[in-house]
Amino acid sequence: MKVSARIALLSMAVTTTFGTMMAAPALKPLAVAFPNTDALLVQWVVTLSSLFILPTLFLSGILNRKFNRRSILITGLVLYLFGGVGPAFMNSFPFILACRALLGLSIGLISPTFNSLIAENFQGEARSRMNGIQTSINGIGGAIFLSIGGFIATLGWRDVFMTYFYAVILLVMVVAFLPKFPPLQVSQSAKSSIKIPKFFYAVALAGGLHTMMFALIPTNLSLFLAHNGIGSISSAGYLIAFSLIGVFIGGLSVTRLTGALKKRLVPLELVLMAGGFLLISSAHAVWTVALGVFMIGLSEGVLFPLSFIKTSEVVPKLILTTGISLLLACVYTCQFLSPLFVRGIELLLYSNSTRDVFMAVAVALVAVAVGFLLFSRNSMHQTVTDVS
């Protein structure tokens, strides 16, 4: 694949997780502009897109077998542009949410298409490197645009949504540099005889859950800072951007870390994420929050590409698009459920403090890391016993 085509393909990364988070700096100004709107609905400006990704996501396997993949990406980017910029021109909160739903439908077209193209055209370490670079681009692109968004949020919430015009550049790159990639040729009999391994469902669930933990930052940080008197209205954008710098660094290092740490990598990353939430839960200054979100981003930058790498390893190539779609379905469903997860933890703790929620998440992540280590050790012991 030509370098220009690789760049065009990797540029799609910024439309996925980052595409839903770009509205995060607008949450506080939106809450002020629409004072009679429930706080949960305001948070859905970030996460509603994740729910509406699902309809087109589940159609992606069929679409990839009927149309060339470049056409699917072009269609998705056009919808992405309208859904992203649309809220800037709306005066009704339901219409703002409708635009966010359209944005989700567009991501459901884009994300599985470019991820399956990476999985199909790269193997082994090259695939691992591409998945890591993809996550890094998502991180650094998000950091740049959310920093801009944090500043723009001081001018008004409408201006935040205008930043989605960057999709015009992506559209030009796809049209100019990306080959058509013909539809997948898979016979119905061949497809029906291949089953998705059961282990994959554990991978997909884990991918969704760690993404939900990371989504707690863009969906809660703006209101957390405001309620605790930390920073200014633009701080949320800068801090979320700083978490994405962590994602950038983690994505670049995933290939080396996987080779060096092997099965110890996942529990170490979970403990790192737990440390980040612990810091935020006790923070009273911007620098403490900044360190916490960086640690969370660094962990997610490793865990996110690992989910795709493991999916590519365990799912047969002929149904890989379906496997990636299911993984993304878990990821985006958990992103959408993130605000409801916070509400559930608050009810469980009899507290409406986000500090308590972050503390509970930190404890839970450490418990999962310990459980993962024990499970891995028991599996290795069982393997040795079976061999002997």
pLDDT in tens, 313-370: 888 877 777 888 889 889 888 877 888 898 899 999 988 888 999 999 999 999 999 9
Higher pLDDT among residues 117 and 143, named by residue: 117
Instruction: State mean pLDDT over 253-264.
Output: 83
Rounded mean pLDDT, 264-284: 94
State how far the Cα of 46 lies from the Cα of 49, in Å rounded to an integer.
Answer: 7
CATH of span 3-185+196-387 = 1.20.1250.20
Position 180 scores a pLDDT of 84
Give pLDDT tens digits for 158-197.
988 998 998 999 999 999 998 888 876 655 555 556 788 8
Indicate the pLDDT class of residue 105, thresholds 50, 70 and 90: very high
pLDDT value at 384 more than 50: no
pTM reported for the whole predicted model:
0.75
180 neighbors 299 (Cβ within 8 angstroms): no
For residues 149 and 245, the model is more confident at 245
Contacts of 342 by beta carbon, 8 Å cutoff, 6+ apart: 216, 219, 220, 354, 357
- Residue 250 falls in which region: left (phi positive, over 0), alpha (psi -120 to 50) or beta: alpha
User: Quick count: other Cβ atoms within 10 Å of Cβ 381?
Assistant: 10
Does residue 200 have a pLDDT over 80? yes
Token pair 């919430």 is at which residue?
157
Residue 152 confidence (pLDDT) above 50: yes
Nearest-angstrom CA–CA distance, 339 and 44: 8
Q: Residue 378: pLDDT band by 50, 70, 90 thresholds?
A: low
